[in-house]
Structure 1
Amino acid sequence: MHSLRLLCRTAAFQLALCLAALALLLFSGLAPAHAAPPLVYNKDGVSFEHPVGWKVTEDEGRQGFM
């Protein structure tokens, strides 16, 4: 009887761990609700997305590369 109770507790603990891990995986991939959409930099054939707070501080072309 004691081993059956221990087996049920172990199974319940493992189930709880699996559900917690699943919830963590599901919710960690979601973007925060307050996140602003990224801005796009596009100049001279170079483009990328960047966070709203980033700014281009130097924007000069190099001869021979463009």
Structure 2
Amino acid sequence: MAEQTPNQAPLRSAAKAIYDTVYPSSEWTPVPFDEAERLQTVHYRNAVAAARYFQPVEQGALL
């Protein structure tokens, strides 16, 4: 998520929280969240997908 709009900040925060919880150490993923975001790793994409899934309707989520 290079340039963030106001709606992307909560999504990024949620994705980071999910990423850090699901992949707690280098045994689970080789890079920290910021690097995974830059590289668009599968771990990062999974965290973003999970964050989008749980995004509240008032923030524009598709159910």
Q: TM-score, normalised by structure 2?
A: 0.30
**Higher strand proportion (structure 1 or 2):** 1
Larger RCO: 1 or 2 (CA < 8 Å, sep 6+): 2
